Amino acid sequence: MSIIDNRKAFYDYSVEERYEAGLVLEGWEVKALRAGRGQIKEGYVVIKNNELFLIGTHISPLPEASTHIHPDPVRTRKLLLHSEEISKLIGKVEQRGYTLVPLNFHYKGGRVKCEIGLAKGKKQHDKRETEKKRDWEREKARLMRSPSQS
pLDDT at 67 over 80: no
Separation between Cα atoms, residue 57 and residue 76, nearest integer Å = 8
Cα 8 from chain centre: 9
pLDDT in tens, 19-49: 999 999 988 888 888 888 889 888 889 999 9
Where is 19: in which H helix or E strand?
strand 13-23
Task: Give the CATH number, domain containing residue 55.
Answer: 2.40.280.10
Confidence band for 148, pLDDT divided at 50, 70 and 90:
low
Structural domain containing residue 27: 2-122
pLDDT in tens, 41-60: 888 899 999 999 999 999 98
Q: What pTM did the predictor assign?
A: 0.78
Using alpha carbons only, what angle is made at residue 74 by residues 113 and 49, rounded to the nearest 5 degrees?
70
- The number of distinct structural domains making up the chain is 1
Within a domain: 102: yes
Separation between Cα atoms, residue 101 and residue 119, nearest integer Å = 7
Within a domain: 139: no
